[in-house]
Structure 1
């Protein structure tokens, strides 16, 4: 791609995807905001909404009586919110890693019940530094095999390892996909950076998560935007 030729400071910042690894994830705290989209019943109803997996089941439509305009069946069900969130990966540089989420103040809907602390075991066979960063994959076995995590190039994915809808052992569950970004580099910046593979640039993350109830019904979705605050890099208090 060609470089933007504008010399003005008002040129919008451009971002590019950035390959991530466990070292980069755990070098500081990811601080940001999440936009929550909740089904109007608070995300905990067992009524049949759209299914997260498999084909949608036919569902009775409730007609809301309202004097306002009808915007269609989908929009009236959502309630929105914005909430402060931080995400930290605590890695012992060997086999153990913990993902910790902390949700702060919210305006409107807040994040529903989801695991805020997940303990995992790293499969380090897949972390060979002989491979380019974008070709490495790290697998994390979370919460005694309830969840599986993957770091592949610029993406982090976490999802249930298996699903069971048997009445006796069903649980609510969540999925998440994160993509890591950095400011687009000029050629001069890239030359300076070549020698320091472990030197992290300003890193950003967009994260999409979805919550499902114990019947597999979708109850809440959220989109989060983070910036990495490295440990010891300024005061990260917000």
Structure 2
């Protein structure tokens, strides 16, 4: 019994010593000591340090975002100025529709030829603006000779919510009548000057209407290097569509372009340094240029360079220099026949990519429904409320409806502050060869900003007027008028038009009142590849009376649209590019 008690006591002592050794090992490591804590007792970062690190990361992300927006704004502004600055000439076609869809297109007019000079500069407020100077000639009354007229227009880039595609320089903007703050006061007998000020609009001779404009949307597509198409949708004081204007404009060559075109092809221009060298040391400049040219005489033998440049007179040396340059030009210039085209894009000898030539393609409902339109869309999503104003916006208190939030009129967002995205898009048209027509839109995978659902909705409509098969009207002047949704949605109904190679979709009424709704505007230009190399002309639009169509050209569509939210603010702008994939063996689809 004694032995068992002693053995139990010894075992207890051994177990206690082992526990003490384990605790010592936990506290000791090598020659030093390091405290080991459980995860629940480890020191946590203080709230101040956590907030400081979070604020630093947030500030850094804001700096990167500002740098990206600044670079994006600079690229868009550079593209806008490089393409559109200068002089343009063209004609404007204007028309309108009434509430009675049976009346069709009414008051169609064509303006006299005009010229518009465009320049980007700063306005008196110190903000960047687009300045336009219009000049044209028109007869007034019983005058035999036309009179010269001029008009100016200035558009603030920020106030107009300018949307620019930096790739092809297409742009869109809007103008809105500013409501005077004095109208909210009790003194209604003396309206302020701001309330009486009208929008600076395109001249009346171009728009074809003298009615006051409350809201205007302008969209422009760069068709080629020297051609562009503009569309203006004008809305009156009752928020109804009063006029649609389509401007086809060609670039006016400047003096420098004329000098460059007059110079022989392959000529080597002399720099300022070369001219100074020529004035000071004629011998050295002659030897410099002649050394780069292999002297060959008319018989094909190599000429004696020392003997040909041994004239003691400076005039003789200059004459010899001109002869050497002319001989080099005649041997290096390509022997290509002249073409009928005058633009750099249309002239094969001046094009770098040597791709297919594109020309305007008159579109009809028959060809519009002959296949599926597949392409890509570049999306620019605008902030609804600027970031600087988000903290200042407060909810309404007390009775009554809350005040309207901050808008672009109060503090417009900086130019180029949109988020960019790319998305696959497709659309197809269905037509029963009568009055019923339907447009189906769909959007696929995207990167970055996503297209709003309102831009990819399908719609049905009624063909109110169709001039596609009219032989007495030129193809570029034939029109199609579509009343989308058949007017069932009241003010939200859209109207669509086809005018030659241009298609338009705009709302019949704006919805800025209490029952405001989102709306969008659209401009499309159709082009096709040239199929005849002899005359440089493309095939015309499909028609039912063509027996021998031959090989159909490839048709593409350039589209630009603007989507507005329920407050009448620009929410999204996008530029899309479609290619027509025809049904059947020619288009590579099975028609399903």
**In which range does the TM-score fall when normalised by the shorter chain?**
0.7 to 0.9
Cα deviation code 1:138-196 (max 9, x no counterpart): 000001330000000000100101112221x21111111100001134354779958x7
Q: Distance in 2 between matches of 1:84 and 1:170?
A: 30
Q: Secondary structure at the match of 2:453?
A: coil
For 1:60 and 1:28, the matched residues in 2 are separated by: 42
Q: Is the 8 A contact 1:21 1:133 kept in 2?
A: no
Partner of 1:151: 498
The count of residues paired between Structure 1 and Structure 2 equals 216
Q: Distance in 2 between matches of 1:155 and 1:60?
A: 31
Once residues 125 and 13 of structure 1 are traced to their aligned partners in structure 2, the CA distance between those partners, rounded to angstroms, is 31
Paired position in structure 2 for 1:74 = 415
Residues 78, 138 of structure 1: CA spacing in aligned structure 2 closer, same or farther, 3 A cutoff?
same
Alignment counterpart, residue 364 of structure 2, candidates 7, 21, 26 = 21
TM-score between the two structures when normalised by the length of structure 1? 0.79
Question: Contact conserved, 1:48 with 1:217, CA < 8 A, in 2?
Answer: no
- Indicate conservation of the 8 Å contact 1:49/1:218, yes or no: no
Following TM superposition, by how much is the alpha carbon of 1:18 offset from its aligned partner in structure 2, in angstroms? 0.7
Matches within 5 A, 1:216-227: 216-227=568-579
Secondary structure in 2 matching 1:33: strand
Q: 1:5 to 1:170 in 2, by over 3 A?
A: closer
Deviation at 1:80, TM superposition (A): 0.4
Name the CA distance, whole Å, in 2 between partners of 1:39 and 1:221: 8
Whole-angstrom distance in 1 between the partners of 2:406 and 2:527: 37
Which secondary structure state, in structure 1, belongs to the residue aligned with residue 368 of structure 2? helix
Alignment of 1:184 with 2:527, yes or no, is no
Deviation per residue, 1:27-83 (Å, 9 max, x gap): 0000000000001459xx985454xxxxxx22277xxxxxxxxxxx323x3100000
TM-score, scaled to structure 2: 0.34
> What's the counterpart of residue 234 of structure 1?
588
Question: Distance between the aligned counterparts of 1:18 and 1:224, measured in 2?
Answer: 17
Q: How big is the alpha-carbon RMSD for the aligned residues of Structure 1 and Structure 2?
A: 3.2
Q: Which position in structure 1 is the counterpart of 2:290? A: none
Matched residue of 1:114: which SS? helix
What secondary structure is seen at the aligned counterpart in 2 of 1:204? strand
The answer as to 2:444 corresponding to 1:104 is yes
User: Matched residue of 2:588: which SS?
Assistant: coil
CA distance in 1, matches of 2:567, 2:560: 21
SS across alignment from 1:144: helix
1:129 aligns with 2:470: yes
Give the alignment of 1:12-51 within 5 angstroms: 12-40=355-383, 48-50=406-408
Q: Which residue of 411, 432, 451 corresponds with 1:59?
A: 411
More helix by share: 2
From 511, 515, 520, the equivalent of 1:164 is: 511
User: How much has 1:128 moved relative to structure 2?
Assistant: 4.4
Q: What is the aligned partner in structure 2 of residue 67 from structure 1?
A: none
Query: CA distance change for structure 1 residues 47 and 17 in 2, over 3 Å: closer, same or farther?
Result: farther
Q: Taking structure 1 as reference, are residues 222 and 20 closer, same or farther at Cα in structure 2, changes over 3 Å only?
A: same
Higher relative contact order (Cα pairs below 8 Å, separated by 6+ residues)? 1
CA distance in 1, matches of 2:443, 2:367: 22
Find the aligned partners of 1:24 and 1:162 in 2 and give their Cα distance: 29
Structure 2 Cα separation of the partners of residues 173 and 161 of structure 1? 10
Return the index of the structure with the highest Cα Rg: 2
1:119 aligns with 2:487: no
Q: Which runs of 5+ in 1 are unaligned?
A: 51-56, 62-72
CA distance in 1, matches of 2:537, 2:496: 33
CA distance in 2, matches of 1:60, 1:125: 42
* Cα distance between partner residues in 2 of 1:85 and 1:182: 20
Which residue number corresponds to residue 68 of structure 1? none
**Is the CA contact 2:376–2:577 (under 8 Å) kept in the aligned structure 1?**
yes
SS of 1:124 mapped into structure 2: strand
Q: For 1:134, what is the secondary structure of its paired residue? A: helix
Q: What's the counterpart of residue 69 of structure 1?
A: none
Q: Cα 1:234–1:9, aligned 2, differ >3 Å: closer, same or farther? A: farther
Unaligned runs of 5+ in 2: 1-339, 391-403, 488-492
* Distance verdict in 2 for CA 1:5–1:190, change over 3 Å: closer
2:483 corresponds in structure 1 to: 141
Match of 2:432 in 1: 92
